[in-house]
Amino acid sequence: MPPNILLITLDGARVDVIRRMPTFQRLTGMGSFFPTTITYAPYTIASQCALFTGIYGNENGVDNYYGWRLFKNNLCKTLATYFKEKGYHTKTDVFNRNVFPHQGFDDISLHNENQDDLVARHTSVIRGLRNKFSKKQKTFLYLHYSKIHASLVKNVIKRYDDFSTEYFHRQAENMKEYEGYIQEADAYLGSILDECSKLGVLEDTVVILHSDHGASVGERVGEKVYGSFCYDYTLKAFLLLLNPDFFPGRTFSQQIRTIDLAPTLLSVAGIQNTNTRFKAIRGRSVLPIIEEDEVDQRIAFSETGGLGGPYPSPRRPNVHSIRTPNWKLIYNRATKSRELYNLERDPVEANNKSGQGEEIEPVLWRVLQRENFLRQSG
């Protein structure tokens, strides 16, 4: 019997911070945790379109901040559509219907990220769906926790610009404030899962916790929050899969991509992606990693074009990256420059090795060119 699906997005949650929180630490011991999950885009709109389709934005049409209107819904099938066709009731509560592909949802409700109590609101949503979390009709429920985003908008985006000395010279204080936002998110998770447990809906439900991107606390001048560059503090997201029948309590060190979630959930639910009218899913299920049947490494493609910062490009991405588990190549179209980082030795990406004869650079450059060719030809 296929399970219910409860997908929770923690918008803007950094993995290096949330994994220190008490509720999240407890949960990682109960499920399959992937702390190196690389997002397609370091901002919500393009990131969620890629996650919901398993297809990068250069193919699904949403590769920029204003690209939600360009989503190729006639060519790209969404998770909600797959589950609806399987007979699931599909429901979501988000703060803006333009930040994700809404095709396939039976019920879309919108919350006010600045006013609504998301613990009260989302526990109420789950109570309202209690009868649907049953063997008679399965449910696909997507909840978007937007409080981190709202706090960053209020306390950073509206207060500073991308070059404010006051902000970039106080990283310790910025991190302390950001940790407060994550503590709230951790408490939210505890309340939501406690409610699910009380209602008895967890036994037959796969719970997915993930972030769409990380956030800056002032690491690089020119990017006060996210969306301008392709460094790991914004590209590293996380994925935590909870259900003992499918996912053991274990942390996996392998690199995966946010586009890998869609094929994973389809596999768990026994849903086949056989309709050739739609674009093929680019992601791959993580089940072979969990079952220790995968030996090759996954390469992650990411790109962005900032609303602000030194190279604003909100309608077309101009910063692109290719990341292996140990190396990352970044190409900036605006400056025609490359950056190459040995992530194993230089995890904060401080020592640019581009042009220094590293054998991996031309290899990654060819892969990056291939990804951009997909945009030109697709």
Query: Where along the chain do its domains lie?
Result: 4-290, 300-377
Question: Measuring CA to CA, how many Å separate 75 from each of 103, 281, 285, 345?
Answer: 12, 11, 21, 41
pLDDT of residue 190: 98
pLDDT tens, residue by residue, 135-172 = 678 999 999 999 999 999 999 999 999 999 999 999 99
SS3 content of the chain, % helix, strand, coil (to 5): 35, 20, 45
Question: For residues 153 and 336, what is the distance between their CA atoms, to the nearest angstrom?
Answer: 31
Decide if domain 300-377 falls under CATH 3.30.1120.10: yes
Give the pLDDT band of residue 105 (cuts 50, 70, 90): very high
Q: Helices H, strands E: what count in the chain?
A: 13, 13
| Mean pLDDT score across all residues of the chain | 94
pLDDT tens, residue by residue, 218-263 = 999 999 999 999 999 999 999 999 999 999 999 999 999 999 999 9
Topology adopted by domain 4-290: Alkaline Phosphatase, subunit A (3.40.720)
Give DSSP secondary structure letters for 8-53.
Answer: EEETT--HHHHTTSHHHHHHHTTSEEEEEEE-SSSSHHHHHHHHHH
pTM assigned to the model: 0.96
According to DSSP, the residues that pair with 203 across neighbouring strands are none
